[in-house]
Amino acid sequence: MMRLLLVFFMLSFLSSPVFSEEGHEEKGHSHEEGDSHGEENEEEGSASNVGEDKGVIEASRSKGFKLTPESVKHLGIKTIDSKKEGQSFTLPKSALVSVKRERFVYTFNNGFYKAVEVVVAKASSTQITVTSEHDPISGQVVTEGVHFLRNIEVDIFSGDEGGHHH
């Protein structure tokens, strides 16, 4: 009997408007046919999460995003100079971000943080050696706070990268 009640409770909970597409509407935001969900402003971050009064003061898909000095301090973001060894870079293992099958590091150039996809050529318990075929690794590389940067990036550019994100 207890199992039956638990199943009934779970079904009624999951069918509530919070979890169903039918009732999925927010104040000032509804899903209608043809809703582009961020595609109209493909280059720049959304106005609601980027600005002088926000933690992210500028965002561009090509350059990356800028954070306020307070945000950098609060998130504990640390960088080191990138040191190239031929086509490879040896970095602390903490610099690597892994999402599904993708591996990347965050670079810091001219005030902008940007994810650069990498291939891990070698790894030890404390260091990794990476290469990048698409974007150059230059300037500085973020060694601490990389997961905060990943969350910020997904939030800013959620129309493409994060799928259906709010």
H or E element at residue 70:
helix 69-75
CATH class of the domain defined by 39-156? mainly beta
Determine the average pLDDT of the residues in 125-133. 91
Binned at pLDDT 50, 70 and 90, residue 13 comes out as very low
In this predicted structure, which of 76-80, 87-91, 117-121 has the lowest mean pLDDT? 87-91
pLDDT at 72: 95
Q: How do residues 46-56 score in pLDDT, each as one tens digit?
A: 556 787 778 99
pLDDT at 98: 92
Domain boundaries, the chain: 39-156
**What's the pTM?**
0.66
Binned at pLDDT 50, 70 and 90, residue 159 comes out as low
